[in-house]
Amino acid sequence: MTDKTGKTVLQRYMGIPQPEDRVMCEYLWVDGSGEGIRSKCRTLDFEPKHPKECPVWNYDGSSTYQAEGSNSDMYLHPVALYSDPFRMGKNKLVMCEVFKYNGKPAESNNRKSCNEVCEKAAEEIPWFGIEQEYTMLDVDKHPLGWPKNGFPGPQGPYYCGVGANKVYGRDIVEAHYRACLYAGIKIAGCNAEVMPAQWEFQVGPCEGISVGDDLWVARYILHRVAEDFGVIVTFDPKPMPGDWNGAGAHTNYSTVKMRDDGGIKHIEDAIEKLSKCHDKHIKAYDPKEGEDNKRRLTGLHETSTINDFSAGVANRGASIRIPRQVAQDGFGYLEDRRPSSNCDPYSVVEVLIRTTCLDEC
């Protein structure tokens, strides 16, 4: 990959000393599509140590699918703080919730209700780990590294592969991983996925709402890193039709009872509850209430069918997979394989807790 945007020139300016009493804070928020993330920057005259120290700020919601032009002000309420891996030093990334002028949450602000549910179930100590799959595209929106007038060889050698003829975009993956570590995100790993130009990173284990914060900021960082390389990242759950794997956000979930000795019974109880609320979960697992996932959850390419609920040990074709080690140990976690790669993690966390901890369906 080559430098397409004059980054070597930029470094001259990034080397200019930053005043001690000036801190750049990049405010991040989810836009009205429910899957896009936006940002803008402001200067503070101190280094914030907690998100509540950052002021509420506004922006033009008519340009983010969130308001009409005649009443467009939307308000950013800081909720999570991260070190900025792009500007470094004291500078911050600030994850925000979005509210309307009347104090009500924006339609795409799923964090507020998710946090309320997490607080209700706090004694269950719910842990989450999300496996975020994504695909890299060239600027012409063709998968990175694919022949321009054809297709690569069939799937098989690409998953966790190595070599210039098997993986594309590793530089971006390495840069993203390091940037997430610097930011303070609980990134747990990464690997090349089944379709060439498709990758995955994992966030977690995180307790409750924090997995949503970490994943959204990790997505932002990934877009920013890819931007530097002149590459597009898509979270589309089925970017290439045909005999190619789609992209999901498999969600590993447990409560303290599941993680304790004998927890397999609580895992099985949770699966029974999930089986009765399948349609509700499908609607929560992509921004278009299941329409995006229809292209992915076909029963092929390591997926269950969208209309049927299933569960099994070590079965990657099931809705819910119990890892083999968990079945052997008798405690641990379950993996929900239904969430799409473009899901809102706040919605995923909320519906899992509602169903399994609060008995709401």
Instruction: Convert the pLDDT of each residue in 126-160 to its tens digit.
Output: 999 999 999 999 999 999 999 998 899 999 999 99
DSSP conformation class of 72: -
Instruction: Convert the pLDDT of each residue in 116-129 to its tens digit.
Output: 999 999 999 999 99
Q: Where are the domains of the chain?
A: 19-108, 118-356
Rounded distance, CA 156 to CA 150, Å?
18
Do 19-108 and 118-356 fold alike per CATH?
Answer: no
Q: How confident is the model at residue 2 (pLDDT cuts 50, 70, 90)?
A: very low
Which homologous superfamily is 19-108 in?
Glutamine synthetase, N-terminal domain (3.10.20.70)
Please, what's the b/e burial string for 57-85 (b: 16 or more CB within 10 A of its CB; e: otherwise)? bebebbebebbeeeebebbbbbbbbbbbb
| pLDDT score at 11 | 87
Residue type (1 letter), 54: C
Q: What residue has token string 């070599």?
A: 163
Mean pLDDT of 104-117: 97
Mean pLDDT of 223-228: 97
DSSP conformation class of 91: -
If you average pLDDT over every residue of the chain, what do you get? Answer: 96
Please, what's the b/e burial string for 150-166 (b: 16 or more CB within 10 A of its CB; e: otherwise)? eebeebeebbebeeeeb
| pLDDT score at 3 | 52
Mean pLDDT of 84-113: 97
For residue 4, pLDDT over 70 is answered with no
Rounded distance, CA 350 to CA 13, Å?
43
Rounded distance, CA 112 to CA 128, Å?
18
CATH says 118-356 is which class? alpha beta
Mean pLDDT of 248-273: 98
pTM for this entry: 0.96
Give the pairing of strands 249-254 and 334-336: antiparallel
| pLDDT score at 5 | 54
- Give, in order, the Cα–Cα distances in Å from 125 to each of 88, 119, 170: 33, 10, 35
For residue 342, pLDDT over 70 is answered with yes
Instruction: Convert the pLDDT of each residue in 28-85 to its tens digit.
Output: 999 999 999 999 999 999 999 999 999 999 999 999 999 987 789 999 999 999 999 9
Rounded distance, CA 203 to CA 180, Å?
10
| pLDDT score at 128 | 98
| pLDDT score at 1 | 43
What's the 3-state SS for 182-207?
A: HHCCCEEEEEECCCCCEEEEEEEEEE
- Give, in order, the Cα–Cα distances in Å from 172 to each of 139, 222, 263, 302: 15, 8, 39, 26
For residue 319, pLDDT over 70 is answered with yes
Q: How confident is the model at residue 221 (pLDDT cuts 50, 70, 90)?
A: very high
Please, what's the b/e burial string for 287-302 (b: 16 or more CB within 10 A of its CB; e: otherwise)? beebebbbbbbeeebb
